Amino acid sequence: MNHPSLFTPVQLGGHTLKNRIAFPPLTRQRSAQPGDVASDLMAEYYRQRASAGFMVTEGTQIEPRGQGYAWTPGIYSDAQIEGWRKVTDAVHGDGGVIFAQLWHVGRVSHHALQPDGAAPIAPSAIAATNAKAFIETSAGAGELVVPSLPRALGVAEIKALVRFYADAARNAIAAGFDGVEIHAANGYLVNQFISEHANQRDDEYGGSLENRLRFLSEIVQAVSQAIGADRLGVRFAPLFTTTDQDRVYIGMVESDPHDTYIEAVKVLERAGVAYVSIAEADWDNAPDLPESFRRDVRRTFSGRIMYAGRYTAERGARLVDAGLADLIAFGRPFIANPDLPARIVNGWPLNPVNPATLYGGAEAGFTDYPAYAG
């Protein structure tokens, strides 16, 4: 057996996971239209990858204003709940455990994606100048655009958004998911509140780090009360920046990312959530997270810890062996290799990913990657 530490069972909330290989949230933009509904094609895509010990869906918006990219799925309508039910039934039928990632892009959107063409919402009226939204053109194609200038949220609106997260978590359980992950990374709404760069508020949601973490804390509490903390995980990206073809997403790196995110992890520890997921920088030659940060996450958090970011099986196994990680997520390798755990354990070669088919489209580059045939 290759990399045996990746194939030991591990407990996550109420589930015993069959291995420590995770399928992470990956935006693929293939929901059925109209309505941004998870499709039969998506059900097959996730089913093919159910040999992962743990799966998290692509980001699924918690309300219409949460969308920043055309054709991404939602989880706020009855039709969307029913669409996701097909996915969870398919995954559970093949023995998988799957959480839904709850997503709101905040300012990383465009008025063309917003209800009634309104401005996107954010903690402060500061544009996401280094990000891109993705809109559908009149010809039915897609186009990358600079996000629109957002408007700042009022306090009552922030409280309503917390309720939207709890409602979305209930919807996820109704759709058959085993739990949910809060997307608090990559420059999106929760990350915008945490960030000293995007959050310039002078009320209880801005200023001090404690205040900037308040939105996260209230969401975690509300979702925990709605579905149970043992069904909840949260994703952070302390040093996240990535360039992918023509798409540029830049997460917001704080002046003291170590203290910022250790304090954020403390929020999760106090709530007793099931896991924290750390998305690492994933461009070529990106620096590793400091070892001191990994050690402090382990010392701070008693739940499960998952890392993602261009991991090889060897590197991931070393992190598990060192006691610093419980789960290792593989993104692009899992896109191109639906049978990735079998390939890892047997040392079989990997299919290469086709970058041209990552976003949008149909079966090509989605459900047609072959399993290993020998």
pLDDT digits (tens, 9 = 90+) for 9-26: 999 999 999 999 999 999
Tokens at 174, concatenated: 């109704």
Hey, how many other C-beta atoms are within 10 angstroms of the C-beta on 300? Answer: 17
Q: What is the mean pLDDT of residues 301-310?
A: 96
- pLDDT attached to residue 54: 98
Residues 6 or more apart whose Cβ sits within 8 Å of residue 67 = 36, 61, 74, 105, 109, 113, 114
pLDDT digits (tens, 9 = 90+) for 187-219: 999 999 999 999 999 999 999 999 999 999 999
Say whether pLDDT at 246 is over 60. no
Cis peptide before 34 (omega within 30 of 0): yes
Please pick, among 69, 76, 188, 275, the residue that the annotation labels catalytic.
Answer: 188
Between 180-194, 273-287, 346-360, the lowest mean confidence (pLDDT) is in 273-287
Between 107-111, 162-166, 228-232, 283-287, the lowest mean confidence (pLDDT) is in 283-287
pLDDT digits (tens, 9 = 90+) for 113-165: 999 999 999 999 999 988 999 999 988 889 999 999 999 999 999 999 999 99
Say whether pLDDT at 261 is over 70. yes
> What's the sign of the alpha-carbon dihedral 49, 55, 61, 67?
negative
Hey, how many other C-beta atoms are within 10 angstroms of the C-beta on 312? Answer: 13
- pLDDT attached to residue 129: 87
Contact present, 128 and 187 (Cβ < 8 Å): yes
Cα separations (Å) of 154 from 76, 127, 273, 281?
A: 22, 17, 28, 32
Q: What is the mean pLDDT of residues 337-358?
A: 97
pTM: 0.96
Cα 253 to Cα 2: distance, rounded to the nearest angstrom: 36
How many angstroms from the chain centroid is the CA of residue 338? 19
Domains defined for the chain, CATH in brackets: 4-357 (3.20.20.70)
To the query of whether residue 165 is one of the catalytic residues in this protein, the response is no
DSSP letter assigned to residue 24: -
